[in-house]
Amino acid sequence: MSANWYGSVEDISTIMYKYRIYQNESALGGYVDVGTATSMTNDSYNLIEGTNYSIEVVAYNPSGLNSSGYSDGAWTDFGKPNNVNVTSSSHPVQGTAYSNSTVLLHFNASDVNSSGVMSGIAGYSYLLDKYPGTAPDNDIESREFIELVDYVKGTDWELLYDADSKTSYKTVTTVKKKLLENQSIKVRFALAEMDGETDESVPIEVGLTDEVCTDFASCTFIGKNDTTMDIAYAYSVSNVKVYEVIVKATADVTDSDFQIVIGINSTHTGSKNITIPYSTTTDYQTARCDEGGGSCPQNTTIRYAIEADILDSPNVTQTAQYDNLADGTYYFHVKAIDNAGNPSNTTHFQIVIAGGESIAIQNPVNGQLFLNVNDTMNITATVFVSATSDVKIVSMHPDGSTTNSSQQSLTTSGVFNVTLRQGTNELYAISTTGAKSASVFVILAKEPQGSSNKTIAIRHSGCTTVDSNLCYFTSGGTVVGIAAEEGSAASGVVIGKTESNTMKIFATKAAGFDASKVNADLVDNDFLDQINPMFGFNRDTSKYLIRNDLRYEDIYVSGDVKVDPGKYKLVIIHNGVTKDGKVNVTIGIE
C-alpha cells in the first residue's frame, strides 16, 4: 500500500508523522514513524480481496501535540471480471450461415464475486477478424456521448452573479433520465460577462443531484466538477461563448430523473455581472437558487442555454455493428476491463455469412496506385460471380461520400466503370441479394506535372563581364561566373534552356582564363570537369573547382508514403556534390 498527504505547518518546531493502516475500520498493528516524510509505502501485509483499507496519519511536534486525519479508504479488487456474455440479433446461432451481411452483436459483463460487487466494469475491448483465437488488447474502446438535452440559444439573460450585491446564483435543470454510478455527463452551457471584458478567474460549479432542490443548501450532490474560467464578454445573446465540463456520477439515481446544477461559487467577488441565456418554453423544469440558501422556486416556462450528453454506460448491454461484410467466417473477440484495470478472459463468438453466391473484384488489385492530373478519375474494374447476379460496384471515397457504378446482370464476369477521388478509395461489389465482395483499396494520386517552360535564369549582380553564353567577374586571382550550354548572357544574368542541357556555376584561376574556349567545353560536358579542370589548371593540380549542374531531369520523386489529400509544399534541399560526382538532394513535404 502507498499513500501521500499534505504536510502540516507550524512556526515553532519541526512536524513529524506516523501512520497506521486500517482494514475494514480495524487497525492493523501499531503506528509506523516516517519522520518528516509526507508519503508511505508498506508491503508487509497480504491484502485481502474485497476488503476496504484506509490510512490514519498523525502529525506531531516534539512537545507531543498532535492532530490526525484519515483517508477515504479503497477497496481491493484483484480478480478478473466475469466472462463477457455475447449474443447476436442478426446471426443468433454460432456456426450457422446467414445471408445478412450486417452483423449486430450485443454483450455485457459483471464484476461480482462471492463477496459482492467489486470495482465495476469500466469498459470493453473488442475486435472482429477471421481468426478464432485472437485476444483483444486491454485498452478500452472509445464510447459515445448520447444527447439528453439539446442546446438552444437563448433570447434573454438571467443573472448568475450580481456584481453590485456580490450575490451568486445557481441554475437547476431537470433531466428525465435515469443515471447510473460512474456514468459521465458532458455539460455544455453558455455564460457571458456583461458591461465589458475583464480578465477574471470565475469559480464555476457544475454538479448533479438526485432531487429537486427546494433549498439549495440542503441539496446532496451525486457528482460535481468545480473549475475556474475566464468568462468572455458578450454584447448580445447571439454571440455568447459556450463552455464545457464533464461530471461523473458517484451514485445511482433512484428516481426517473436527475438535475444538472450550474452556478457561480459564493467566494467570487468580481466586478462584472455574469449571466446565462434562456429562452421561453414549456418543456423543461428549471429553477434558480441563491448560493447563500433560501428557496429555489421551480419554473416551467424558461429553458437555460444548456446541453447535456450522457456517455453510454459500461454497466448496460453494449452493441457493436459491422456493415457490408463479405461472405466468410468471422470471429468477434471481446473482454471486459474493470475499474481496477483487471481484464476478463476473452469471449469468442463465431459468425458465418453465406449469401448463396460469391462475388470478387479481380482488378484493380488491393493497394494499386493510379496517377491523374485531376482530382477524380474513371477506371474499369472486373468482377467475377459464382452465379447469375445483378451487381454494381460501390466506391467509397476519402471524404466519406460514395458513388455507384451502373448495375449489370452477370453470369460469370463483367467490367464496370468506377469513379475514384484523390486519396484512398474503398471498392466493393454488391449484388441485389445482399452478397458482397471483399473490399479492394486503391489510391488516386496527383500526377506530377513538369514545367512547360524549362528555361532557368541565374542572376548575380557582380557578374558584369559578358561573353556569348556566360558572364563572369574577377576577384583577386579567381574568375567566378555562370555559364549555359545553350542560352544567352547579359550583365548580371545568364538564361539557359535546360530541356537537355545544363547550366554551371564556376570558379577558376584568372591566369590563363580564355572565355572563347568555354563553348566547346560546354558542348563536350568537360567544362569544369574535375579530371580535366581546364581554364588554366593542369591535370595534376590538387585544387578543386566548384561545379554544379542544374537540370530538371536530375530529380525524381517517388516512394510509398501516403498523405491525406490536400495542398502541400515540396521542399528540395541541395546538400552538395558527393566524391563520385552525384548531387545529394533532400526532398521533404510540408
Nearest residue to 338 (alpha-carbon basis) of 135, 113, 490: 113
Q: Contact 164/195 with Cβ under 8 angstroms?
A: no
- CA dihedral defined by 119, 120, 122, 124, rounded to 10 degrees? 130
Which cell is 17 given?
508523522
Q: What is the 3-state secondary structure (H, E, C) of 221-271?
A: EEEEEEEEECCCECCCHHHCEEEEEEEECCCCCCCCCEEEEEEECCCCCCC
Beta bridge pairs of residue 150: none
Nearest residue to 138 (alpha-carbon basis) of 427, 282, 279, 346: 346
Give pLDDT tens digits for 78-119: 888 889 999 999 999 888 888 888 899 999 998 876 556 577
192 or 49, greater pLDDT:
192
pLDDT at 59: 93
SS3 state of residue 352: strand
Q: Which of 98-102, 165-169, 217-221, 270-274 has the lowest mean pLDDT?
A: 217-221
pLDDT at 569: 74
pLDDT at 334: 95
Give pLDDT tens digits for 357-409: 778 898 898 889 999 888 999 999 999 887 888 999 999 998 889 999 999 99
Q: Contact 79/342 with Cβ under 8 angstroms?
A: yes
Q: Which of 258-267, 458-467, 540-549 has the lowest mean pLDDT?
A: 540-549
Which cell is 424 given?
484512398
Residue 46 banded pLDDT, cuts 50, 70, 90: confident
397 or 143, greater pLDDT:
397
The sign of the CA dihedral 508, 511, 514, 520 is negative
Which cell is 495 given?
538564361
Whether 326 shows a pLDDT value over 90: the answer reads no
* Matching residue, cell 448560493: 291
Cα–Cα distance, 557 to 448 (Å, whole number): 9
DSSP 59-72: EE-TTS-EEEEE--
Q: Which of 62-66, 493-497, 520-524, 545-549 has the lowest mean pLDDT?
A: 545-549
Whether 337 shows a pLDDT value over 70: the answer reads yes
Nearest residue to 445 (alpha-carbon basis) of 422, 428, 468: 422
Give pLDDT tens digits for 556-587: 555 556 666 666 777 777 777 676 666 677 77
Nearest residue to 55 (alpha-carbon basis) of 6, 17, 22, 16: 22
SS3 state of residue 26: strand
Beta bridge pairs of residue 302: 280
pLDDT at 540: 41
pLDDT at 382: 93
pLDDT at 551: 43
pTM over 0.85: no
Whether 216 shows a pLDDT value over 70: the answer reads no
Whether 552 shows a pLDDT value over 50: the answer reads no
Mean pLDDT over 65-83 rounds to 87
pLDDT at 542: 38
Instruction: Tell me whether strands 440-446 and 369-372 are parallel, antiparallel or unpaired.
Output: parallel
Mean pLDDT over 311-325 rounds to 81
pLDDT at 344: 93
Residue 536 banded pLDDT, cuts 50, 70, 90: very low
Domains of the chain: 2-75 (2.60.40), 85-141+317-353 (2.60.40.10), 146-311 (2.60.120), 359-446 (2.60.40.2550), 455-550 (no CATH)
CA atoms within 13 A on the CB side of 269: 1
Cα–Cα distance, 511 to 419 (Å, whole number): 66
Whether 225 shows a pLDDT value over 50: the answer reads yes
Mean pLDDT over 174-178 rounds to 84
Give pLDDT tens digits for 276-294: 999 887 666 777 776 655 5
pLDDT at 292: 59
Q: Contact 90/104 with Cβ under 8 angstroms?
A: yes
Cα–Cα distance, 338 to 124 (Å, whole number): 9
- Write down the mean pLDDT value for the chain: 82
Residue 533 banded pLDDT, cuts 50, 70, 90: very low
Q: Contact 213/257 with Cβ under 8 angstroms?
A: no
Mean pLDDT over 167-190 rounds to 86
Cα–Cα distance, 414 to 385 (Å, whole number): 9
SS3 state of residue 404: strand
Whether 346 shows a pLDDT value over 90: the answer reads yes
Give pLDDT tens digits for 442-467: 999 887 665 566 788 888 888 888 88
Residue 418 banded pLDDT, cuts 50, 70, 90: very high
Between the ranges 111-115, 160-164, 511-515, 525-529, where is the mean pLDDT highest? 160-164
pLDDT at 41: 93
CA atoms within 13 A on the CB side of 53: 16
pLDDT at 443: 92
Cα–Cα distance, 320 to 372 (Å, whole number): 38
Which cell is 406 given?
451502373
